[in-house]
Structure 1
Amino acid sequence: MTSSITAPTNPYLVLGAAIVLPASGHVILGVPVRGLQFLFFLVILAWVTAKIAPPDASFVGRHAGGFLIYALSILDAYKIARIRTAKWVHNARRDGDNAQSGIGPHT
């Protein structure tokens, strides 16, 4: 018996999308508002650190706040994808065990 719930998006696809384009991993996962929140804070913190950083700081140093939020958004999107995949695998195994043993609504 196969589950009627479709498989979640591959976590590595989400990870790659999040690395290439900020918030795109969240959009793929179906939580675009969360991605927009990360983008908003990315821009704000990059701007703030650019204003308070010393003039001789590197580009990354001047925008460190934005890079921090960017890294957190990548981790967040990947974590959500991994959790969804783990839940899907767990439910599929549980449904398969119930169907094989004759327990549950499958009989």
Structure 2
Amino acid sequence: MTNSATDPTPPNPYLVLGAAIALPASGHVILGVPVRGLQFLFFTVILAWVTAKIAPPDASFVGRHAGGFLIYALSILDAYRIARIRTAKWVHNARRGNDSAQGGIEPHT
């Protein structure tokens, strides 16, 4: 069983969310999964380019690059989801460690 004293504190999910909104792939870099962020960035650029090629000429900028904006939005949600899950696991393990250290409920093995 891991002890919360040895587990590093995960980054704040709101920090990760803000970074992911400000700069694509930066939220994943903060989380320590830069390859996943680069994959999202690659597909953002590719789908924006493909959408720009097939969109009608009178479409707005967002309409011409809608595929890229879709992947960008998904990458923001993905980075935030990973940060929230890691934080929830860290909090859960910290509470479990405190319960067993105080002679409370023993963790299941």
- TM-score (norm. length: structure 2): 0.91
Q: CA RMSD in A?
A: 1.5
Shift in Å, 1:61: 0.1
The yes-or-no answer on 1:89 pairing with 2:91 is: yes
Amino acid at match of 1:35: G
Are 2:46 and 1:44 equivalent residues in the alignment?
yes
Q: In the alignment, what sits opposite 2:71?
A: 69
Partner residue of 2:82 out of 80, 83, 102: 80
Change (3 A) 1:2 1:75: closer
Deviation of residue 4 (structure 1)?
Answer: 1.6
Give the structure 2 partner of residue 11 of structure 1: 13
Aligned-partner Cα distance in 2 for 1:45–1:6: 36
Following TM superposition, by how much is the alpha carbon of 1:103 offset from its aligned partner in structure 2, in angstroms?
Answer: 7.0
5+ long unaligned stretches in structure 2: none
Deviation of 1:89 after TM superposition, in Å, equals: 0.1
Residue 15 of structure 1 and its aligned partner are, at CA, apart by 0.1
Write the distance in 2 (CA, Å) between the matches of 1:32 and 1:10: 17
> Which residue identity does 2:61 align to in structure 1?
F
Unpaired segments ≥5 residues, structure 1: none
Give the Cα separation in 2 of the matches to 1:69 and 1:103.
Answer: 44
Q: How far has the Cα of 1:2 moved from its partner?
A: 5.9
Q: Which amino acid aligns with 1:8?
A: P
Aligned to 1:101, what secondary structure does the other structure show? coil
Q: What amino acid sits opposite 1:32 in the alignment?
A: P
CA distance change for structure 1 residues 53 and 31 in 2, over 3 Å: closer, same or farther?
same
Normalised to the residue count of structure 1, the TM-score between the two structures is: 0.93
- Hey, what's the Cα distance between the residues in 1 that align with 2:59 and 2:4? 57
Aligned pairs, how many?
104
Q: Percent identity?
A: 85
